[in-house]
């Protein structure tokens, strides 16, 4: 039973992240099959919405200096614009042109590259090279189309408007996306996965008058929702531990009750741990310590305030009561053994902490936190694995 509960706790966040994009994708596909057409005003609204959302996502990602979603969105914007251009030039059979056949193969390749793109800051030379690479892919498609060369396999059956090679390209792309999505469980990965499914439907039913605008518009809506939730979590949550972030502490400190205590927990001897285990090992240890602290029965609100620090808010509790809970947390970590991946022996770690309650002279929680920090620094200079009162 305990294993089942633990499994459910582990899988629930993944299902939660998947639910909304999966629901929107399913609703869009069902609606498409249930309706033969869309009125022209609605088509124009969706058409304008697509470009407005694309511009909004571009500006948001530019502001937050993120590259992965931006390049992915840029690929969809270019593809949608080219498809509408093809429909305008050859409205009767544009899906049979080399340009369409090449685009249906090259777009999934582009999306695959950017789906597995590590998160980097946008304003870097590295991303300029990626942009040039993406433009080179579309330039290749344009040159092939200009010479009437199609990326397709002759004498093979077509599926909807997609050639067999185009369908294979989308299929392999989605399989790779699915494997990555299940392993990462990230909100944005789920959103990009389902957006690609809708994009594939857009190509498959490209000959239908309302398919392109419907599927491409909903794909950007899903990306926009995923982006909004991810940016919200980046501001209010720490990805590694699941606790509140430093920003969340500062923002939410204004809403703390009149009576509360603030505690700080810090990993002992952290500088030596940095040298011994490296970045990945430190992350594993921090995650395991956070899980250990979460397992201790306490009503404290926990924030990851620094690389090796956690801030705890004990609402409606005085310093002595909070101190007892801090001691319970310290002993729990000290008695645990942490097993790193590929390690032969478990690791024993300790934490030190300090706690203080809000005084009338304190303007806000940041002043209480500052006092706790100073006390912790003094005690840590002489001893580890100890809790002090400020």
Q: Which domains does the chain possess?
A: 2-236 (no CATH), 246-389 (3.30.70.270)
Can you tell me whether residue 354 is helix, strand or coil?
A: strand
Q: What is the pTM of this model?
A: 0.73
Token duo for residue 217: 């518009």
Token duo for residue 34: 């249930």
Please write the tens of the pLDDT for every residue from 306-331. 888 999 999 988 888 888 899 898 88
Q: Nearest 5°: phi and psi at 119? A: -70, 115
Can you tell me whether residue 336 is helix, strand or coil?
A: coil
Give the mean pLDDT of the chain.
84
Please write the tens of the pLDDT for every residue from 177-223. 888 887 777 788 889 999 999 999 999 999 888 899 999 999 999 99
Please write the tens of the pLDDT for every residue from 47-95. 898 999 889 888 888 777 777 788 888 889 999 999 999 988 888 888 8
Q: Which residues contact 77 (CB under 8 A, 6 or more apart)?
A: 51, 54
Q: Which residues contact 286 (CB under 8 A, 6 or more apart)?
A: 240, 241, 267, 308
Beta bridge partners of 351: 267
Please write the tens of the pLDDT for every residue from 339-367. 777 667 888 888 898 999 988 888 888 88
Please write the tens of the pLDDT for every residue from 269-281. 887 777 777 777 7
Pick from 50, 67, 151: nearest CA to 109: 151
Can you tell me whether residue 265 is helix, strand or coil?
A: strand
pLDDT category at 2 given cuts 50, 70, 90 is very low
Q: Which residues contact 114 (CB under 8 A, 6 or more apart)?
A: 68, 71, 72, 75, 130, 134
């Amino acid at each position: 039973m305990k294993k089942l509960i633990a499994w459910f706790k582990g899988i629930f966040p993944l299902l939660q992240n998947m639910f909304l994009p999966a629901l929107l994708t399913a609703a869009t596909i069902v609606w498409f099959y249930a309706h033969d057409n869309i009125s022209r005003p609605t088509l124009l609204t969706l058409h304008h919405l697509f470009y407005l959302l694309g511009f909004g996502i571009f500006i948001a990602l530019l502001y937050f200096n993120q590259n992965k979603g931006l390049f992915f969105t840029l690929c969809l914007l270019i593809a949608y614009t080219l498809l509408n251009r093809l429909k305008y030039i050859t409205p009767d059979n544009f899906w049979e042109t080399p340009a369409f056949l090449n685009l249906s193969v090259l777009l999934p390749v582009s999306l695959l590259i950017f789906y597995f793109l590590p998160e980097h800051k946008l304003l870097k030379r590295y991303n300029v090279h990626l942009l040039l690479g993406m433009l080179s892919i579309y330039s290749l498609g344009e040159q092939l189309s200009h010479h009437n060369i199609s990326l397709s396999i002759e004498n093979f059956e077509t599926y909807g408007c997609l050639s067999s090679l185009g369908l294979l390209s989308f299929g392999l792309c989605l399989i790779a996306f699915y494997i990555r999505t299940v392993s990462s469980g990230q909100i944005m990965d789920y959103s990009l996965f389902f957006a690609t499914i809708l994009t594939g439907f857009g190509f498959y039913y490209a000959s239908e008058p309302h398919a392109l605008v419907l599927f491409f518009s909903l794909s950007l809506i899903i990306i926009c929702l995923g982006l909004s939730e991810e940016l919200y979590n980046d501001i209010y949550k720490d990805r590694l531990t699941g606790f509140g972030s430093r920003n969340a502490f500062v923002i939410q400190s204004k809403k703390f009750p009149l009576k509360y205590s603030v505690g700080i927990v810090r990993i002992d001897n952290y500088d030596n741990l940095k040298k011994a285990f490296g970045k990945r090992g430190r992350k594993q240890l921090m995650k395991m310590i956070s899980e250990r602290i979460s397992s201790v029965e306490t009503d404290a609100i926990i924030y990851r305030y620094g690389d090796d620090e956690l801030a705890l808010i004990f609402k409606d509790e005085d310093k002595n009561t909070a101190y007892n809970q801090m001691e319970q947390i310290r002993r729990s970590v000290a008695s645990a053994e942490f097993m790193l991946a590929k390690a032969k022996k478990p690791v024993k770690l300790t934490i030190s902490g300090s706690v203080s309650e809000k005084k009338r002279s304190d303007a806000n929680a940041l002043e209480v936190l500052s006092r706790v920090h100073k006390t912790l620094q003094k005690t840590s200079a002489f001893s580890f694995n100890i809790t002090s009162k400020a």
